[in-house]
Amino acid sequence: REPQEWLGAPLSAQFPLHMISIQPSDRLHSQMDATATVQGNKTAGHETLYMHPQDAATRDIQDGDEIEVSNARGRMLAGVRLTDGLTPGVVIIATGAWFDPGFGRAWQPWDRAGNPNVLTLDIGTSSLTQGPNAMSCLVEIKKHRICTNG
């Protein structure tokens, strides 16, 4: 059986980037997220998302920008770092940012810290790989723009 979300799925027309959430190297899950070391590893004050420069260029995103990552399940802010070490169409972010809910539509969670759990499916492990299905989903990314009056 094919996965629900992958770059060949019909949903990829609306959400063309495959986000993979990995375990962080500087903490155990969300433990110690508030420490100075972990906070010093953030980008633009949020969890760091890694993106291929080709994907960033089509979205007018620069290294270090604050970005909005979204799909039909939710939205989150992140800071972006560009790397040639990824395949175009794939983005990576670590799990573990403490959930920091923001204002928005009641039916769509909004996280200001960069917690990918607001975007991933709520399903169990894969019967094929025995790995968590929830660590992968389709998303779209845009530069975060703050609206101001005047």
Handedness of CA 100, 20, 69, 118 (dihedral sign): negative
Q: pTM here?
A: 0.87
- Residue 104: its pLDDT value, please? 60
**pLDDT at residue 49 tops 80:** yes
**pLDDT at residue 150 tops 50:** no
Which is higher by pLDDT, 110 or 43?
43
Quote the tokens at residue 38. Answer: 């972990």
Structural contact between residues 14 and 35, judged by C-beta atoms closer than 8 angstroms = no
- Nearest CA to 115 out of 134, 92, 93 is that of 93
Q: What single string gives the DSSP state of each residue in 87-127? A: -TTEEEEES-PPP-B-SS-TTS-EESS--GGGTS----B-T
Mean pLDDT confidence for 69-88: 96
- From CA 138, how far away is CA 126, in angstroms rounded? 17
- Residue 59: its pLDDT value, please? 98
Quote the tokens at residue 109. Answer: 């969670």
- Residue 87: its pLDDT value, please? 97
Mean pLDDT confidence for 10-31: 89
The mean predicted confidence, pLDDT, of the chain is 87
**pLDDT at residue 88 tops 90:** yes
pLDDT, tens digit (0-9, with 9 covering 90-100), for 92-148: 999 988 888 876 655 566 888 999 988 988 776 667 666 666 688 999 999 998 755
What band does 40 get if pLDDT is binned at 50, 70 and 90? confident
Q: 86: helix, coil or strand?
A: coil
Delineate the domains of the chain, giving CATH numbers in brackets.
10-143 (2.40.40.20)
